[in-house]
Chains A and B, each alone.
Chain A
Amino acid sequence: DGGITQSPKYLFRKEGQNVTLSCEQNLNHDAMYWYRQDPGQGLRLIYYSQIVNDFQKGDIAEGYSVSREKKESFPLTVTSAQKNPTAFYLCASALRTGNQPQHFGDGTRLSIL
């Protein structure tokens, strides 16, 4: 079955450490997205990518970086510059054209040690 796979499910970061969250999709979707969800809040867009080797900042990109070397993969790195990284991170993908909805992965919970 096609879908979006995020790993790991839980991740812990030490102070000053960079960590990378994985997102892989086999839906042949062009666009991919990273969102952050804090308790009691909706999702906020971190980065998105419409095609390979291209990506754009979302509303809260500071302290994060991404790459899109393959259509199927869109990893997110939470850098040490992100001072409040504890949150739930959701990856999504969609066909680029039309009114296609975004499909989401199961998410990664990142916590600070």
Chain B
Amino acid sequence: AQTVTQSQPEMSVQEAETVTLSCTYDTSESDYYLFWYKQPPSRQMILVIRQEAYKQQNATENRFSVNFQKAAKSFSLKISDSQLGDAAMYFCAYRSEGAQKLVFGQGTRLTINP
């Protein structure tokens, strides 16, 4: 079974600085998708960024980018120019090609210090 591990329960960063959240996963499959979701205090899950495993180019969405290392099974999220509104729980998630199920990591709580 696939597993997703986020080894940093909590992270903090100064406003306007850059922070990287780690995620590793375990799978024997070659085709899959990876996601980062943000859960602010309102508890809604918001999609931040996604990556297809067959794409070598790292996904980027404005201030958010990923470092996808397929061989190492690593999928880290970099947040540039951190803003107070970025404070939230961040979850890494995995989905196999053709599967419906998302497998989530335990989450990383990100605090932004003004």
A90 touches B45 (CB 8 A): yes
Please tell me which stretch of A18-26, A41-49, A69-77, A78-86 contacts chain B, meaning at least 4 of its Cβ atoms lie within 8 angstroms of it: A41-49
A100-112 to B contact mask, C-beta < 8 Å, 1/0 = 0111111100000
Q: Which residue of A lies closest to B107 (CB)?
A: A42
Q: In the bound complex, what is the Cα–Cα distance between A33 and B103 (angstroms)?
A: 13
Q: Do residues A43 and B44 form an inter-chain contact, with CB atoms below 8 A?
A: no
Q: A99 and B106: CB pair below 8 A?
A: no
Decide if A8 is an interface residue (CB 8 Å cutoff).
no
Range for the number of chain B residues in contact with chain A: 20 to 34
Confirm or deny: A66 has a beta carbon within 8 angstroms of a beta carbon on chain B.
Answer: no
Most chain B CB neighbours (cut-off 10 Å) among A44, A99, A107: A99
Decide if A106 touches B91 in the complex (CB within 8 Å): no
Are the CB atoms of B105 and A42 closer together than 8 Å?
A: yes
Within 8 A of A (CB), among B28-66: 33, 35, 37, 42-47, 50, 52
| Residues of B close to A92: CB separation below 8 A | 45
Q: Is the CB of A41 within 8 A of B47?
A: no
Checking A43, A48, A104 against B100 with a beta-carbon cut-off of 8 angstroms, the contacting residue is A48
**Nearest chain-B residue to A103 (Cβ)?**
B47
- B85 CB to closest chain A CB, in angstroms? 17
Contacts of B4 in A (CB 8 A): 42
B100 adjacent to A99 (CB under 8 Å):
no
Beta-carbon contacts under 8 Å, B3-44 to A = 4, 9, 33, 35, 37, 42-44
Q: Mark B58-94, 1 if CB is under 8 A from A, else 0.
A: 0000000000000000000000000000000001010
Enumerate chain A interface residues (CB-CB to B < 8 A): 31, 33, 40-45, 48, 50, 56, 58-59, 88, 90, 92, 99, 101-107
B: which residues have CB within 8 A of A? Answer: 4, 9, 33, 35, 37, 42-47, 50, 52, 91, 93, 95, 100-102, 104-107
User: Can you give 21 A-B contacts (C-beta < 8 A)?
Assistant: A33-B100, A40-B9, A40-B106, A40-B107, A41-B107, A42-B91, A42-B105, A42-B107, A43-B91, A43-B104, A44-B104, A45-B101, A50-B100, A58-B101, A90-B45, A101-B47, A102-B102, A103-B47, A104-B37, A104-B45, A106-B44
